[in-house]
Amino acid sequence: MTDVSPPRSFTAPVTAANSSPAPAVAMIQITAAHAGQRIDNYLLTHLKGVPRSLIYRILRQGEVRLNKRRVKPSDRLTAGDWLRIPPVRCAAANDPPTPSARLQALLDAAVLYEDDRLLVLNKPAGLAVHGGSGISAGVIETLRVMRPRIELELVHRLDRDTSGCLLVSKRRSTLRWLHEQLRDGQMTKQYQALLLGRLPQVQTRVTVALRKNQLRSGERVVTVDPLHGKPAETLFGQQQVWVQSTSSGQSPGQVTLAQVTLATGRTHQIRVHAAHLGAPVAGDEKYGDAAGNQQLRALGLTRLFLHAALVRFQPSPEAAAVTVTAPLPEALAAVLARLG
């Protein structure tokens, strides 16, 4: 029988500069309300005011223990588990994030669907889904200020530069149910992407494994790694192709509008798989084509051309499936019109 009692000894505290005094080591027994939740998501909620970079650092260094064992950020909690959290210094309690009235109004107008269990936002490009790395308030922090009596949690994430459908749960039970659909492939997520190049086939499926790396600066970089990466699957469907002459008079380039369907949800998955095909997402400054991006800037593309256009899910086990769509932003539609 596995011993899950709290350990008797603790390691040295982890601290962050310019913050309030650190608390003692915390030993928390997980209840059924948090069963199934990822450890990193639990800590991000439990340690309010602690920078994301610090939370992931104490996880990497083994300072967080689950039933006395080291854990990975993606490990999930089970009712009855003992979670050890080292001393960390939180931001002052009287200094919560203060999202602007303009940002609150923007998110209020961005609600595409809402019921008593969850809501779906049309997230604007350029807005992070959560705070950290110099961002005091992202989507989830702003929503919690707007709706302080509701237990809001992100169901999934979108890159800061990606727009479109973002699910937010209002109940722990709904969060677990939606995560179950994600794990079992029962939730449909479709994107629109403009690719710098042409797909090998009208319908192209990519199944190369991906590995996430974190640089010393904290920046995340994902690489194709068949040996050590995690399974990832993306379906690219060609919608329209344009042949475009370059401004320098070189040979024409091809630009493809694609519908992209995710079978898995790895970090930067669409962007890395597209680059692997030799047709990176337009406007992608991390994995993309600098010359192609510069050419499209002349057509008005000033952001990543990646938009979460559709999500289909069941709000609850007894409910019928719901399909929510987000229209292509005007700025992206204008680029397509100029291509035409």
Point out the residues that are catalytic.
Answer: 159
Question: What DSSP state is assigned to residue 140?
Answer: H
Q: Which amino acid makes up residue 318?
A: E
At 33, list the tokens.
């309300």
Tokens 């510069």 correspond to 294
Three-state DSSP at 203 gives strand
Q: Compute the distance between CA of residue 257 and CA of residue 239 in angstroms, rounded to an integer.
A: 5
Tokens 């990822």 correspond to 38
Q: Compute the distance between CA of residue 236 and CA of residue 6 in angstroms, rounded to an integer.
A: 49
Residue from 186, 194, 147, 192 nearest 168 by CA: 147
CB proximity list for 251: less than 8 A, separation 6 or greater: none
At 310, list the tokens.
């559709």
Residue from 289, 309, 334, 333 nearest 196 by CA: 289
Radius of gyration of the chain (CA): 22
Partners of 214 in the β-ladder: 220
Three-state DSSP at 104 gives helix
At 140, list the tokens.
């989830």
Q: Give one DSSP letter per residue of 70-89, joined into a string.
A: E--TT-B--TT-EEEE---P
Phi, psi of 207 (to 5 degrees): -130, 20
Packing angle, helices 52-60 and 39-46, rounded to 10: 130
Question: What DSSP state is assigned to residue 332?
Answer: H
Check if the beta carbon of residue 50 is closer than 8 Å to that of residue 132: no
